[in-house]
A and B are shown apart, each in its own frame.
Chain A
Amino acid sequence: MAALDDTKVKEGVDQETVDAVREMAGTYKHGWETDIEMDYAPKGLTEDIVRLISEKNEEPEWMTEWRLQAYARWLQKEEPDWAMLDYPEVDFQNQYYYARPKSMATKPKSLDEVDPKLLETYAKLGIPLKEQMILAGVEGAEAAPAEGRKVAVDAVFDSVSVGTTFQKELKEAGVIFCSISEAIQNHPELVRKYLGSVVPVSDNFYATLNSAVFSDGSFVYVPPGVRCPMELSTYFRINAENTGQFERTLIIADKGSYVSYLEGCTAPQRDESQLHAAVVEIIVEEDAEVKYSTVQNWYPGNEEGKGGIYNFVTKRADCRGDRAKVMWTQVETGSAVTWKYPSCILRGDDSQGEFYSIAITNNWQQADTGTKMIHLGKNTRSRIVSKGISAGQAQNTYRGLVSMHPKAKNSRNYTQCDSLLIGGKCGAHTVPYIEVKNNSSRVEHEATTSKVDDDQLFYCRQRGMDEEEAVALVVNGFCKDVLQALPMEFAMEAQQLVAISLEGSVG
């Protein structure tokens, strides 16, 4: 086992980088990095590193074993190559698998004691001051008055959850919202029961990797009959260089409960690509409902295709009980490479799954994303609305599966899958799989591919908008069905993101 003495501390990030990034912030708003002292585990992945991560998180033996098992499985697995993605081979040994802000070691008494760089980060993320205090772990911060609408936030900075807000109020409602590392310690019975039950350890290459090395993430448990009193939100941020981020999210909505969960992601601009492999598992019991919304804005790389996040994510919801309902909404504008298929297993009778997606790729970005709707129970319903927009030299693929099993009598699926091309050098692809094994179910799939309509652009410009503004407006219109599915504040952010993501795509 690796002694802590072996832990190499990375040299300080130079100010030049920080300044350069700030100057460029016009192009990629979240492209700053924060110069914070970090603890790193040595580069590369070995059994010792897996043990180290487990030890750092003060995990019980069963958890360490679980990780080691995953690691053993991962060694036998091959990286999948079926997606329409083309990127240089990832060197899994040239990554840091653990990084942690040093200031998290002891709890500060007031904001003055908090590493100011950390606070700066929160401010840039648009997190209100009170939440900043809580996230920074300031004692008594919960008692301070809150501004505006309540959204409980869990921030994951590189690999570590740095704090969760509104703990007290959530606790009163019986909702558990904490980092997964805390959950492993404080709610082991729940974690042991559900972890890996939706996405098994050996599900796929990246999920298996995540199972071995995940260092933190969010945990949500909503008890029976409880409607979560506020929206829950996690901000994920990759800050440190060469650091892979592997967060693990586990959401359990017990019978008759409801929760809406928002996820936002950003990362600084860097020339080198960085790895992100997350797993999200959602368990939806009888009559429960979960809404999971993502605005993914990891750094997409620059105009020449240099840098950017490799985003390999496994997200799956299991509607275990009758009338369970899950809704995935995603706005994917970032990352150099996206490999992501948030899925629904519709096991309970009358359960429902919905997937709303906007995927925008510009410059050299590549996205292969979609969903799986697995209909197992009777009278199950699913709906897929996917809007892919491709500009520059980007490639954008919708890949999906709709499967009606023999027992899924009287089930329905409707899929609408539209692609928009901006410029003649990009690609838009649609790869749906449809498998129907009973005749009382109905599956409908429609897809279209077209370019931004010249007449629409001219009409807008005749009314005085410039070309970029006109494109942004038309594209936002094209995405309307999905934007409407987002919670209000996310929808506003997403609309602006659509415009920003397409900058430079015309003219």
Chain B
Amino acid sequence: MALPQAKLDATEARLAVAARPSGAAWADAARDGALARLRAQGLPHRRDEYWKFTNPDTLVQPEAPEAATFDETDAPIFDAVERLKIVFVDGVFDAGASDDLALEGVTIERLSEAAQSDIHWAKELYGVLEERGQDPVARPLAALNTALADDGVLIHVTGKASKPINLIYHHQSPRSDAMLHHVVKLDPGAEVTLLENGPAAARFNAVMEVEVADGAAFHHVRAQGRDHERRTATHLFARLGEESTFKTFTLTANGVLTRNECVVEMKGDDAAAHIAGACVGDGDFHHDDTVFVTHDAVNCESRQVFKKVLRNGARGVFQGKILVKPDAQKTDGYQISQSLLLDGDSEFDAKPELEIYADDVACSHGSTSGAIDEEGLFYLRARGVPKDIATDLLTLAFLAEAVDEIENEDLRAELVNLLEGWLGRRRG
């Protein structure tokens, strides 16, 4: 079907201001393939069903809208954690601030360099998982990224990584328009924890493709910072092998527009995928979690746990889907999305979907939206806790189910700390 003219125009206008990076044959081919996909799909439009609740205009327009940089400093996160740091400033790799890209059990390369090598393992993954994730729902911003991103990291995990890898982002220029594309490949039995934190740019389009081979385990914890005006669209694509584990958690506070898509394909039997997120939104804030889990193997387990606290007109969106293919018997699929609306101007939209073609399954989803528990609030106040602190306590309790999805206790403690700090600071 021909695309509407408006879509064609928007797509070409966006491509006109960017050049496809040039590299080795495999990289060129992947990027050209993505360009063709993008042109066939067109960039998202607010009338697209998949963008029903989130207006993509500012993510699509040629130039990034201006966004003031964030001068207030958060307590440093993950500082207490022994880790390997990789720093990007406005989407540009900062060698000086980064550690040596050397870690036992892991090889780490920059995309910009690897894309020049004629032979590279990334050929099998770069843009490949993204393309797999384009069916049945188009994700044009991810195709745009594959076509145009010229940096990011390629991480090959061959054993058990000795410490977590931390991608740290800084936003310094009010008009920065960053695009990063990361690829993580875990060999059979390999394990790694990947941390991401910080606001990356005025506008940030990020794609991460993760291949989790048989028996491998990937843990991902992300803290999208409090930079208020930034706009972010991320895509996390994962393909899971037999008995593999994939766990991702994202904490988001503020950001005028955030859309986090997570697309997981369970290809090997007995795999587990946990996708969780907590967000705290205040004021001119729009946060969208869009998740698509495909069960294409036997006896896999998937969990989606998302919690949102919204106030002062903040808007939260959850679109989650569990697709169970015909032979994916013994699937255990679970999905919960809940929002706590702290005042009357805030808004929550949810579309929790199940599409199931196998009979021996147990799938369920739940979604709730409502105000803070008045009885709980009263109980705390009757014990002498001031209302704002009581509200924070109940808010933290509400978010706990999502935060508890983080397996590592130290990391969990870091995030709870951060969250408490944010809530405390809001009180002033």
Contact = CB atoms under 8 A, between A and B. Distances in A.
Interface of A: 82, 84, 404, 406, 409, 419, 421-451
A441 B344 CA distance: 9
Contacts of B350: 432-434, 445
Contacts of A425: 326
Interface string B347-382: 111111111111111111111111100000000000
Interface of B: 49, 53, 326, 329, 339, 341-344, 346-371
Contacts of A431: 351, 353
Given A432-B352, A439-B341, A449 B371 contact: no
Nearest to A412: B370
Nearest to A438: B344
B367 A422 contact: no
Contacts of A406: 344
Contacts of B362: 448-450
Contacts of A84: 355
A426 to B, nearest CB: 7
A438 B347 CA distance: 6
A256 to B, nearest CB: 32
Given A436-B341, A439-B370, A443-B369, A428 B354 contact: yes
A349 to B, nearest CB: 17
A426 B359 contact: yes
A446 B366 contact: yes
A440 B344 contact: yes
From A428, A441, A448, residue with most partner B Cβ within 10 Å: A428
14 contacts: A421-B358, A423-B359, A424-B326, A426-B359, A427-B356, A429-B355, A430-B354, A431-B353, A439-B346, A443-B369, A446-B366, A448-B362, A449-B362, A451-B359
Contacts of B53: 435
A447 B360 contact: no
A442 B326 contact: no
A425 B356 CA distance: 10
Contacts of B359: 421-424, 426, 451
Given A435-B347, A436-B348, 5 more contacts: A423-B359, A431-B351, A434-B351, A436-B341, A451-B360
B391 to A, nearest CB: 13
A160 B351 CA distance: 41
A385 to B, nearest CB: 15
Contacts of B361: 421, 449-451
Nearest to A398: B354
Nearest to A403: B349
Nearest to A431: B353
Nearest to B49: A82
B347 A436 contact: yes
Nearest to B310: A439
A53 to B, nearest CB: 35
Nearest to A441: B370
A428 B357 CA distance: 7
A442 B368 contact: yes
Contact of A449 (B339, B347, B349, B354): B354
Contacts of A404: 369
Given A434-B350, A437-B347, A429 B364 contact: no
Given A424-B326, A426-B359, A439-B341, A444 B368 contact: yes
Contacts of B366: 444-447
A432 B318 CA distance: 12
Contacts of A442: 368-371
B371 A445 contact: no
B369 A447 contact: no
A486 B344 CA distance: 37
3 A-B pairs with the lowest CB-CB distances in the bound complex, closest first: A439-B341, A442-B370, A421-B359
Contacts of A427: 355-357
A447 B356 CA distance: 13
Contacts of A426: 357, 359
Contacts of B354: 419, 428-430, 447, 449
Contacts of A451: 359-361
Nearest to A435: B349
Contact of A436 (B349, B351, B358, B363): B349
A449 B364 contact: yes
Contacts of A419: 354, 356
A146 B242 CA distance: 70
Contacts of A443: 367-370
A430 B351 contact: no
A428 B362 CA distance: 12
Contacts of A438: 341, 344
Contact of A447 (B339, B352, B358): B352
A157 B339 CA distance: 50
Contacts of B363: 448-450
A367 B342 CA distance: 39
A451 B362 CA distance: 8
A449 to B, nearest CB: 4
Contact of A421 (B351, B352, B356, B370): B356
Contacts of A421: 356, 358-359, 361
Nearest to B360: A451
A38 B323 CA distance: 49
B369 A429 contact: no
Contacts of A435: 53, 347-349
A432 B367 contact: yes
A447 B371 contact: no
B349 A434 contact: yes
A426 B358 CA distance: 7
Contact of A448 (B341, B360, B364, B371): B364
A422 B354 CA distance: 17
Nearest to A401: B351
A434 B348 contact: yes
Contacts of A423: 359
Contacts of B353: 429-432
A20 B348 CA distance: 56
A438 B49 CA distance: 23
Contacts of B370: 439, 441-443
A439 B374 CA distance: 12
B11 to A, nearest CB: 23
A450 B351 CA distance: 20
Contacts of A437: 347
Nearest to A437: B347
Nearest to A452: B359
A40 B357 CA distance: 43
